[in-house]
Amino acid sequence: MTNINKVVLAYSGGLDTSVIVKWLQEKYKCEVVTFTADIGQGEEVEPARAKAKALGVNKIYIDDLREEFVRDYVFPMFRANAVYEGEYLLGTSIARPLISKRLIEIANEVGADAIAHGATGKGNDQVRFELGAYALKPGIKVIAPWREWELTSREKLMDYCKKHRIPVDFSGKKKKSPYSMDANLLHVSYEGGVLEDPWMESEEDMWRWTVSPENAPDTPIYVNLEFKKGDIVAIDDKLMSPAEILSHLNKVGGDNGIGRLDLVENRYVGMKSRGCYETPGGTIMLYAHRAIESLTLDRESAHLKDSLMPKYAEVVYNGYWWSPERSMLQKLIDTTQDAVNGIVRLKLYKGNVVVVGRKSPDSLFDERIATFEDDDGAYDQKDAEGFIKLNALRLRIAANKGRKLD
């Protein structure tokens, strides 16, 4: 066994990571430093401090990373319009590089030999955490208890807690969700329970952030989103910070039944997984960003971005945020955003996001040319004849040679 003197654990304060604290102390005979990130999961993170102290932890980090999360991770990803497998807005994926970065920073501060996490050996998160950690500190040791221990069920975890007097609430006063959940400012995800049968419809009381579209208000609401260099900076003329913007859009989107998704996705480790997601603010942001780009981006720039987007989304999903390819793609994408400025007006109604207006000082929309009325010579329609014939030339040549197309 590798000699480990000190390890930094990504600590939520829940059952799994509380067991991991004691397990690390027992198996590796090492000092455990805990790190708890507030990235907008909607639950108090401060109670994790008392739980960690009760487990004998002396160095405890609890960091509010909400602004950094949205500014430096969510916003750059949305500049790319990133969507994995046509649907998933990458809510869990995009939080992992920030957590990995902070784990390594703390490991450097305290002189730790290793980091540890509570991700299972079946999921994507183990890959994301560890790829990020190795990219930022190549020699770091990573401890993943779920790949080492024999505590393979909730019952075994609870027995371990009782045996080692780990302070976990067994009273049942607080109803535990039957789902494996992950939450941050961008989304809430749900896996497990009835969702393990892809034919079963999700239960209505599962959803935390959104009302069902059927129960959403009967009157639509309108919002104006102002963009500067591809990022939203104001809502309805009110300047807000990145985290405030996403929080506000989560609220108005959730109230109007926006952002629910039921998806079977391909995990990086090879298996298919069924999950449900709530991403109300992100859904609104995606529609709005594409709308302002439609007005301000050159056609070939927009099409090139669209062709690169699936690769960018795959890179983020698979855990390669801290990689040369993501950096290269990000630089290209960000170069296109200098002119992505203006205002988009949206109508939100019963699960729908409808773009009803957009304007920009950098608009490439030329009304004189686009009009169906008299354009006063701005566009010579005769030019289209030669354009069409040149583009048809290869087709005509092939047809003259008798080439048949099915």
The reported pLDDT for the residue numbered 24 is 96
Rg (CA), the chain: 25
* Nearest CA-CA partner of 159 in 256, 269, 19, 262: 19
131 pLDDT above the threshold of 60: yes
345 or 14: which carries more pLDDT confidence?
345
The whole-number pLDDT of residue 171 equals 44
pLDDT of residue 330: 98
Of residues 292, 348, 7, the one with CA closest to residue 144: 7
pTM of the predicted model as reported, rounded to 2 decimal places: 0.94
Question: Looking at the predicted structure, is the pLDDT value of residue 156 above 60?
Answer: yes
pLDDT on residue 175:
55
Look up residue 167 and give its two tokens: 């302070």
Instruction: Answer whether 6-66+92-164 and 180-297+340-359 agree in fold.
Output: no
Contact indicator for 284, 214 with CB cutoff of 8 Å = no
If pLDDT is split at 50, 70 and 90, which confidence band does 3 have? confident
- 125 assigned to active site: yes
pLDDT in tens, 25-46: 999 999 999 999 999 998 889 8
Residue 171's contacts (CB-CB under 8 Å, 6 or more residues apart) are: none
pLDDT number for residue 173: 47
Amino acid at the residue 182? D
- For residues 202 and 169, which has the higher predicted lDDT (pLDDT)? 202
Active-site choice (38, 93, 102, 125): 125
- Choosing from 63, 71, 180, 255, the catalytic residue is 180
Q: Give me the catalytic one of 96, 128, 274, 326.
A: 96
**Catalytic: 16?**
yes
Provide the residue ranges of all domains of the chain, joining segments of one domain with +: 6-66+92-164, 180-297+340-359, 375-399
Q: Which CATH class is domain 180-297+340-359?
A: alpha beta
Q: What percent of the chain has pLDDT over 90?
A: 88
Q: Higher pLDDT residue, 237 or 376?
A: 237
Using an 8 Å Cβ cutoff, are 30 and 2 in contact? no
The percent of residues in the chain predicted with pLDDT above 70, rounded, is 97
3-state DSSP assignment of residue 266: strand
Cα-Cα-Cα-Cα dihedral sign, residues 91, 308, 347, 232: positive
Class of domain 6-66+92-164: alpha beta
pLDDT at residue 154, as a whole number: 80
Mean pLDDT along residues 148-158:
89
Kindly list the distances between the CA atom of residue 301 and the CA atoms of 92, 193, 294, in Å, as whole numbers in the listed order: 29, 44, 11
Mean pLDDT of the residues in the chain: 95
Active site residue 180: yes
